């Protein structure tokens, strides 16, 4: 046992000192030159990726929100359009119906008016004709009478003729 450790310090202290020093220097140098920048860069990149992912997620949500909003707007617009169209159609139908109605009423009125006018005109014309016929017949009768009364015999002949006629009737 003693022999195993004999000269241990003499022969190996140098190795321990050199390797320990070398390792510590390596640790310090790498810490300053490598690990700090590398780990920092990795950390930063991870953060940026994380934020990028989060913002992408946000953008996606925003997009979805906008899309649904657009959809709603579109639906609303469509409904409104339908409503307007429906109203317009109703209005049109109403107007057409109204126009038809009023036209019919007006027409009927006019026809009625025309009929009344025609009626009145006819009546007037008939009355006129009657007047004229009566006037004419009176004049004829007057003339005839005047002529008949100039000649007694003829008067009598006429009367007799007339009487014959009456009998025939």
For residues 45 and 37, what is the distance between their CA atoms, to the nearest angstrom?
A: 12
Radius of gyration of the chain (CA): 66
Please check whether residue 155 is in contact with residue 148, taking contact to mean a CB–CB distance below 8 angstroms: yes
In the bound state with another protein, the residue whose beta carbon lies nearer, of 23 and 149, is 23
Closer to another protein at the Cβ: 22 or 91?
A: 22
The DSSP secondary-structure symbol of 159 reads H
State which residue, 39 or 141, has the beta carbon closest to another protein: 39
State in angstroms the smallest separation of the CB of 77 from another protein: 44
From residue 137, give the alpha-carbon distance in Å to each of 6, 12, 143, 150: 185, 176, 9, 19
Cβ closest to another protein, residue 35 vs residue 149:
35
Shortest separation between residue 79's beta carbon and another protein, angstroms: 49
Identify whether the C-beta of residue 155 lies closer than 8 Å to the C-beta of residue 149. yes
Phi and psi, residue 6, nearest 5°: -65, 125
Shortest distance, position 63 Cβ to another protein, whole Å: 25
Interface positions with another protein (CB under 8 A): 7, 9-20, 22-27, 29-31, 33-39, 41-42, 44-45, 48
Measured from the CB of residue 59, what is the shortest distance to another protein in angstroms? Answer: 19
């Amino acid at each position: 046992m003693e022999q195993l450790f004999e000269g241990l310090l003499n022969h190996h202290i140098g190795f321990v000192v050199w390797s320990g020093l070398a390792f510590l220097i390596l640790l310090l140098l790498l810490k300053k030159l490598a690990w700090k920048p590398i780990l920092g860069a990795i950390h930063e990149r991870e953060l940026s990726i994380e934020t990028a992912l989060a913002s992408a997620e946000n953008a996606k949500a925003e997009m979805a929100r906008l899309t649904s909003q657009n959809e709603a707007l579109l639906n609303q617009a469509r409904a409104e359009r339908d409503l307007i169209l429906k109203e317009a159609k109703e209005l049109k139908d109403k107007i057409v119906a109204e126009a038809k109605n009023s036209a019919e009423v007006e027409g009927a009125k006019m026809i009625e008016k025309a009929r009344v006018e025609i009626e009145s005109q006819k009546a007037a014309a008939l009355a006129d004709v009657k007047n004229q016929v009566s006037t004419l017949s009176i004049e004829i009768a007057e003339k005839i009478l005047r002529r008949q009364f100039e000649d007694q015999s003829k008067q009598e002949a006429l009367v007799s003729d007339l009487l014959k006629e009456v009998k025939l009737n």
